[in-house]
Amino acid sequence: MSSHLSQNISIKDIELNARENGLTLKLYATDEIQLSEISGWFNEATSWSYLTFYNMRGDINKINQVSRPKGISGFEAIQLNQSLQIGLRSINQISQFEFYHDKNDSTVIASLRYPISTTMAYIEKREITSKEKNKTFFSSLINVNTPYYLISIILAGLLILQI
């Protein structure tokens, strides 16, 4: 795509989502965005990530009103002469940027990934929480002072009689 044609591309809307392994931004444009026209980087000193869309424009007021999911503590879009820049501050460090688009439409997905250590810590925490819930449930089954205990004894007796 020539530079002249890409000057007419505008970002119409943005969706932000937080996931266990990072953040995603879904960008809706007026025309196909070349992935070579997008760059991203993370500033470790400030915890801000920046996405730059070269030769593109956007309605800054509308973009800055985008709904922010949990995990994003700051968001700002700035229109520069030759590019649209989006900055976002996340609660976790961003270690990798990936950009995807469907050649049949003008949507681009920017995937900002957390370090693998952050993702693994989340998975371990989720597993511990799940085990604690199961432990609590099974503890209530064997507690003599609950109706679950009585039901468990009756069911066990019925099963033994069937054998």
Higher pLDDT, 123 or 107: 107
- Alpha helix ranges (H) inside 22-146: 60-64, 116-142
What pLDDT, on the 0 to 100 scale, is given for residue 67? Answer: 92
Q: Whole-prediction pTM value?
A: 0.67
Domain ranges (residues) in the chain = 3-114, 119-162
137, burial (CB in 10 Å: exposed 0-12, middle 13-18, buried 19+): exposed
Residue with tokens 């590019």: 83
Alpha carbon distances (Å) from 41 to 29, 51, 110, 112: 21, 7, 12, 9
Label the pairing between strands 48-54 and 38-43. Answer: antiparallel
pLDDT tens sequence across 125-146: 666 665 566 565 555 555 656 6
What pLDDT, on the 0 to 100 scale, is given for residue 91? Answer: 85
Give the span between the Cα atoms of 37 and 3, in whole angstroms: 10
Determine the CATH number of domain 3-114: 2.60.40.3500
Residue 50 scores a pLDDT above 60? yes
Alpha carbon distances (Å) from 3 to 37, 55, 82: 10, 7, 11
What pLDDT, on the 0 to 100 scale, is given for residue 134? Answer: 57
Higher pLDDT, 63 or 118: 63
Q: At what angle do helices 116-142 and 147-162 cross, to 10 degrees?
A: 80
% of the chain with per-residue pLDDT over 90: 44
